[in-house]
Every structure is written in C-alpha cells, then in structure tokens.
Amino acid sequence: MTFSDIIGQDSIKQRLLNEHQQGRVPHALMFCGPEGCGALPLAVAYAQMLLGNSAMAEKLQHPDLHFVFPIYKKHSGKDTYCDEFLKEWREQLLTHPYFGMSEWMNMAGAENQQLMIYANESDAILRKLSLKSSQGGYKVMLIWLPEKMNIECANKILKLLEEPPAQTVFLLVSEQPDHVLQTIRSRTQIIAVPQLTEQDIEQTLASSYNVLPADAHRIARSSAGNMAQALRTITSDADNNYFFDLFVELMRLSYIRKVKEMKQWSDNAGSMGRERIKAFLEYCQKMIRENFILNVGNTSLNYMTNDENAFSSKFARFINEKNVWQLVEELSKASIEDLKNQGLGFRDKRVYETTKIINENKMKTKTYSFSSL
C-alpha cells in the first residue's frame, strides 16, 4: 500500500513525504480521525515507506513491521496475543483497508465477544522491540485503536514512548483520542485526519467499485465522510438493515406505549452482543440527529438511505428542539453507562426514558397517526 492508494488526504500525504525526505521522522505519531477517514491506511502506507516499500513490506510481512490491535481471548485461562490473528489482520488490510470494528470482528471470528488489547500484549511488544532491526533500518510498531488498551498495557507503552528504542517508530491510530491516556497523547505528534469529502468518496465508488453515478452520489452523501460506511452500503450490510428495523420498532412502541412489547424489544436488543449493541446505539443517535435536521428544513445536511428517508419523512415532525438533546443524551447514557458498567445493552430504564420523552412530545403536538410510519 502506497500513498497513491489512499483516498484524498493530499495535504497529510505531502506532509509525511516531506518529513521523510528531510530526515525528520518523529519517534511517535498518532493518526486521529473518525472511522473510515483513512487514518489506518495512511499509517500503513507511511510504515511501508519507512521500510523502503519492499515486497515484504507491501505484503505486510516485513520482519521489522509489527502490529497491535484489539483481539479476543481464544482460549479460556490462557493468554492470547495479536500474532495469533496476524493472518486475518493482513487479509483485512490488504483486501479492505477501509474498515471499522464490525468488519474486523467478522474477519477475526469474534462473534459477540468484546475486543481489546490485553495487558500481556505489552510483554510481546517489549520483546519484539528489544531485538535489532533485521534490515538495519527502522523498526515500526503500528497500534490500531490504542483506546482499547488495558491500562497496564497502556502504562508500559507509555514507558516505551518516554524511552524509545533506537530507530523505532510508533504509529498509533485512534478513533477516540480523548480515551487514550493523556500522557501517551502528549508524547506523540498528533496528525488530525479529517473526514473524507463527498467528492472523494463519490469518485472512488464510481471508479473503483463500478457504482453508477447516481448511486455513488447518494451513497457518498449518506456516508458522511466515512468510506467504511459507504462500502457497507454498497454491499447491503445486514446490520444496517437490522438496525433500521429495530429503530423503527422502538420509536413506534415508544409512541403508543406498549410496555410489554417494549420489554420484549429490550430483551431482543440486549442479546446482540456488546459491540453490535454499541454500533446500534450510535446508529440510533445518528437517526435522531438526522430527523431533527430534516424537521428544521435543512435537507442539504441530511445523510440517509432511501428507506431511512421514507420513514423520516413522517417521523421527523416528532423530533424537535424540545426533545432532541434528551433523546440523544439517553441513548448516549445507554452506550456509556450500561455498556461500561454493566456489560449490557439497552436496559429497561433506558427504554422507559425514551418512551417518556417521545410521549411528552406527543402531548405537546397535534395528533398524528404514528402507526402509518
């Protein structure tokens, strides 16, 4: 993978090229940007450039190129290391470099298990970096999603960043840099990677994925700068369709206050598994925001699929300045508090609060036939 394979981000690519040509290679870089912006492909391309763009580097098999990424425990009571997933990791990067946690979970075979970077991984990192470079050049350690690191592992990485081994470059790629230890962030050079432009995504879909121009334009708008999301759309990702159906069902049940059915809905949603629940909660927040924007009449800022647009054309009237922040806050609490503290998804309390907000708004507006949505 070279910079020519990266979608957009021309100013960042030029900056990295200039620094490399001038011999100003920082010992630690953190590429920070949202999912699908290209932060990981940028880091991989930069790593390959540091290693001379050799055939081994292109295949991600260079002996001085090391990877750390979230994994799950394969064996109960036994340590698991990233190297056990290297085959799947390389395949993911080489075939579909624009991906998110859901794609990586599928590739790794994680099912409903939680992924993280375990404490024992730090020992493997120390062991690898203690060795001399096999090619006499740089050693590169690329860490994807350092926010997923166990605190013990993070502290050992911090020690390495404070006293880096000779000719070693750390490349961290974070989607949530505020969740990374501040002391780690302060010892890296931050590269802020923005969302991709609609034009970049639209052009890529048309030229590289043979998507018709009209469809490429629609998908690019709905992806909101996220190439991974755009690829999910063109492959008819089942999760998105399922999330849409779940969201519509929740809104309808909330509006008509079918408590028994809502409890059943909660039980069904809670069985999805931690990462899928998290993704669904984020999807719900996105739909609330999209409907609020639609309700205030600024359709040029809407990013929805055809099905979402059809539903929202009738639902958006219920989302306004009186309840939008409450709804987003409740969904955010479910994501942060319930997932973190209880290891579960939707709790009955969160469903109740959502119902309450929807119904309070119903009492303040004209009567509409919500069942027709």
Spatial CB neighbours of 248, under 8 Å, sequence gap ≥ 6: 311, 373
Residue 14: domain span? 3-192
In a domain, 227, yes or no: no
- The predicted structure's pLDDT at residue 128: 92
In a domain, 222, yes or no: no
Contact between 250 and 224 (Cβ < 8 Å): no
Spatial CB neighbours of 126, under 8 Å, sequence gap ≥ 6: 156, 160
- The predicted structure's pLDDT at residue 72: 93
Helix residue ranges per DSSP H, the chain: 10-21, 39-50, 55-58, 86-95, 101-108, 121-129, 151-162, 182-185, 198-208, 213-223, 227-234, 238-256, 259-270, 274-295, 306-315, 324-333, 348-363
C-alpha 216/C-alpha 220 separation (Å) is 6
- The predicted structure's pLDDT at residue 361: 54
- The predicted structure's pLDDT at residue 219: 87
**For residue 155, what is the domain's CATH number?**
3.40.50.300
- The predicted structure's pLDDT at residue 192: 96
- Indicate whether 153 and 283 sit together in one domain: no
Regarding pTM above 0.85, the answer is no
In a domain, 351, yes or no: yes
Look up residue 144 and give its two tokens: 């994807």
**Among the listed residues 111, 64, 71, 76, the one whose alpha carbon sits nearest the alpha carbon of residue 87:** 71
- The predicted structure's pLDDT at residue 233: 83
**Of how many residues is the chain composed?**
373
In a domain, 213, yes or no: no
Burial class of residue 342, CB neighbours in 10 A (0-12, 13-18, 19+)? exposed
**Among the listed residues 201, 139, 200, 149, the one whose alpha carbon sits nearest the alpha carbon of residue 174:** 149
In a domain, 269, yes or no: yes
Look up residue 138 and give its two tokens: 């740089």
pLDDT along the chain (373 residues), means of 10: 92 94 93 96 96 89 95 84 95 95 91 88 91 87 95 92 90 95 94 96 93 87 90 73 89 84 83 78 88 84 81 90 85 62 43 52 44 44
In a domain, 362, yes or no: yes
Strand partners, 116: 71
In a domain, 240, yes or no: yes
Report how many domains make up the chain: 2
In a domain, 185, yes or no: yes
- Indicate whether 305 and 178 sit together in one domain: no
- Indicate whether 51 and 172 sit together in one domain: yes
- The predicted structure's pLDDT at residue 269: 80
- Indicate whether 261 and 359 sit together in one domain: yes
- Indicate whether 140 and 251 sit together in one domain: no
Q: What is the DSSP annotation of 240-302?
A: HHHHHHHHHHHHHHHHHT-HHHHHHHHHHHHTS-HHHHHHHHHHHHHHHHHHHHHHTT-GGG-
- The predicted structure's pLDDT at residue 341: 45
**Among the listed residues 104, 107, 143, 100, the one whose alpha carbon sits nearest the alpha carbon of residue 125:** 143
- Indicate whether 240 and 138 sit together in one domain: no
